[in-house]
Copies of this chain bind each other. A is one copy, B any other.
Amino acid sequence: MAVHTFEPTRFHPTIGSHEPVLRIRDGDTVVTWCVDAGGHDREFKSVTPGGNPQTGPFYVEGAEPGDTLAVHFDRMWPNRTVGFTGKLVAPWVIDPGFVSYLPYERNAGQRPSPPTEPHVDLWDLDLEKGSIRLHTPRLGLEALQELKIDPMLGCFGVAPPRGQAISCATSGQYGGNMDYRGFTQGVTVYFPVFVPGALLHVGDGHAIQGDGEIVGTGVEISFDVQFTVQLLKGKKSNWPRGENADSIFAAGNARPLDQCVQHATTELMLWLEQDYGLDYRASSILFGQCIRYDLGNIFDPAYTMVARIEKRYLPPKRS
């Protein structure tokens, strides 16, 4: 149960079977940091090209395809005081006939790079108070002068199978760029293991984000991250699962959103059967009246929906 401090020097714009930067064991903790989505560090200096560059991958000893890797995020918190956001709702998030009324520049809907005004909006954080405000006050948006931050990781996951290396713009069964507000500190995320060592990547911190990440960004910012891994040998899973104090949930990543819902609902039913002994009739009764769906992103190549159930509705977990 060692604690590793890892100082990254290289960042990957894909999640894949890259050379591990560190080998860790079941129960180990890693203290590290990640650049922002545009490749800027805590000094807001560009240290790598943009596109949600990842810290890692971390090789977990003993992890094999067919296992599940649990990653508890002990801490994730911005480590600088300036963040940036996209300027307009993406054209695919509004009515096609309405697109002409928004002042899009060329490359509408691309993630902004470089992250400097006037290409983005800047935000100022007060890390002691945990507050954030829009850098340039704007009439009618006075409320944005005093928001609470709610830090989350937008993009992280394990290496996909078949030697794939997949752009950090998108997501899949292996995780990736899900941009779900529920991936905050204190959450445990469970990934199916597809390759030996699992190969965990982390990146893309957001100080705050609306549902859907519809301007293509949260408040993009570099993060300090600390996580602890647990290896669940022989435990089967198909999609990222998560657990916090109140709920368990599963994320589906695909297009259209309908298919995300299918993946997430199915994975949650399988989980309830596996760990809580509820057959599909029982989980149907429960879900029908108690399930919650959260929207991750509706911006990236694969969208994300999360199916969630509060723990208070569940029977005791089977040992």
A contact set with B: CB distance below 8 Å: 12-14, 16, 51, 85-104, 107-109, 121, 134, 138-144, 147, 160-167, 208-215, 217-219, 254-259, 261-263, 265-266, 269, 276-278, 280-293, 295, 298, 303, 305, 312-315
Contacts and interface: CB of A to CB of B under 8 A. Distances in A.
B16 A212 contact: no
Given A208-B289, A255-B254, A108 B88 contact: no
A261 B266 contact: no
Contacts of A163: 12-14, 165
Contact of A293 (B97, B212, B263): B212
Contacts of A262: 92-96
B290 A210 contact: yes
A291 B298 CA distance: 12
Contact of A165 (B108, B165, B292, B313): B165
A90 B86 contact: no
What are the 3 tightest A-B residue pairs by CB atom distance, in nearest-first order?
A215-B288, A257-B257, A91-B96
B100 A298 contact: no
Given A100-B99, A140-B282, A280-B101, A214 B266 contact: no
B96 A100 contact: no
Given A93-B262, A258-B303, A209 B282 contact: no
A298 B291 CA distance: 12
